[in-house]
Structure 1
Amino acid sequence: MKPATPRSLKARALQWLAQREHSRVEMQRKLLPHARAQAAQREADGDAADPMARVAEVLDWLEANRYLSQQRFVESRIHVRAARHGNLRIQQELAQHGLAPDADAAQSLKASELDRAREVWSRKFDAPAADASGRARQARFLTGRGFSAETVRRVLRESARGLHGDDTD
């Protein structure tokens, strides 16, 4: 039986992009080991090619043909993370990919952060904390999810008062 031929870098990238959106940085990180392996094989055959240049060429082709889009990646990541995480966590994750939300997306996230924090808090906790250690535990949970300190304070204050629908503060 003939051994299977290795998939091209373009085929690998298209397969990954069919599963979900990727950033250029993430796609480069995933493709580079395969490009190096292919370069080592080609070098043995007498054909030397720079793996980074081959990956950059594939990434440029993907962007030119709109398979890879930084804007779609940002929108997708925000959509997926917004229900469970705060603005700080979402922005930090995008920064790891060398990206940032546009002004409209950032404003939308900021406007909805308090409501999202309330929802995350209510899914995790049945009732307001009875003591200081319980409040600290709830605050650590929300802070760990990337909600700002001010948002965490407001959610905990409202939960203690039972004002989940009214933010007159």
Structure 2
Amino acid sequence: MSELGGKDKQSPSLKARALRFLSMREYSRKSLGAKLEDSVARSLKLQRAREKSEESSLGSQDSGNSDLANSIPVKPLSIQIEEVLNDFEARGWLSDQRFAEALVRRRSERFGTRKIQDELQQAGVDSSKTTELLKSLKETEFERAHALWLRKFGVIAQEQKEKARQYRFLASKGFSSDVVSRVVTGRSS
């Protein structure tokens, strides 16, 4: 193979992939596991395509001696991923609580409690870990909705059609109907 441009580059280990992903941003346990599965699946697909390409360019001389056969893991991929995730949690590198706090910080300016709560559930974060975060979000929901409304509209609508448009906008961002009604009609209490 060295005659054809060097030895194939080996794909990174699961731990290396997980560290690379976590170095970019926080992930929940569930989302990091899914990201690792996708990454490995893409790598295997590329490796198979590369091997097929090499076989066709070299002919079928070494069709029985595939590098892929040597790279088949001893344990199933899902078990390997679970072990990496457990190790990272034990070391404090992976934390659903930290992920939840980061998501709330990132999304609270533009979204209501309901939308953020849905995102946390989709990410697989246990609701017991988010109770306090969601409570503090609910306490500030009116102020956040009003600030978003001011940036987007800034004027209380006189026509019903415009009120409905403002209402739909805030409701789609996950703010409660009570808060949306108060903001759109200009009531502070």
Q: TM-score, normalised by structure 1?
A: 0.86
Deviations 1:98-138 (A, max 9, x none): 22353321221111000000000001013121200100000
In 2, distance between residues paired with 1:42 and 1:129? 67
- The correspondence for 2:180, drawn from 142, 152, 158, is 152
- The correspondence for 2:109, drawn from 83, 87, 110, is 83
The list of structure 1 runs, each at least 4 consecutive aligned residues, that deviate by more than 4 angstroms after superposition, is: 40-43
SS of the aligned residue for 1:7 comes to coil
- The correspondence for 2:157, drawn from 109, 129, 138, is 129
Task: Structure 2 unaligned segments of length 5 or more: list them.
Answer: 1-5, 49-65
Q: Given the alignment of the two structures, is residue 44 of structure 1 paired with residue 75 of structure 2, yes or no?
A: no
Equivalent pairs counted in the alignment come to 160
Is the CA contact 1:42–1:48 (under 8 Å) kept in the aligned structure 2?
Answer: no
Partner residue in 1 for 2:93: 67
Q: Given the alignment of the two structures, is residue 138 of structure 1 paired with residue 166 of structure 2, yes or no?
A: yes
Is the CA contact 1:9–1:55 (under 8 Å) kept in the aligned structure 2?
Answer: yes
Is the CA contact 2:15–2:84 (under 8 Å) kept in the aligned structure 1?
Answer: yes
In 2, distance between residues paired with 1:107 and 1:47? 45
Partner residue in 1 for 2:10: 5
Tell me the amino acid that sits aligned with residue 76 of structure 2.
D
Partner residue in 2 for 1:103: 131
Partner residue in 2 for 1:112: 140
Deviations 1:19-76 (A, max 9, x none): 11000110111111344539x9886126542010011111111111111001100100
How far the C-alpha of 1:97 sits from its partner, in A, is 1.4
Q: Given the alignment of the two structures, is residue 14 of structure 1 paired with residue 19 of structure 2, yes or no?
A: yes
In 2, distance between residues paired with 1:136 and 1:155? 12
In 1, distance between residues paired with 2:98 and 2:38? 25
User: Whose RCO is larger (CA < 8 A, sep 6+)?
Assistant: 2
Is the CA contact 2:31–2:124 (under 8 Å) kept in the aligned structure 1?
Answer: no
Task: Structure 1 unaligned segments of length 5 or more: list them.
Answer: none
Q: Please give the root-mean-square deviation of Cα atoms over the aligned residues, in Å.
A: 2.1
Q: TM-score, normalised by structure 2?
A: 0.78
How far the C-alpha of 1:151 sits from its partner, in A, is 0.3
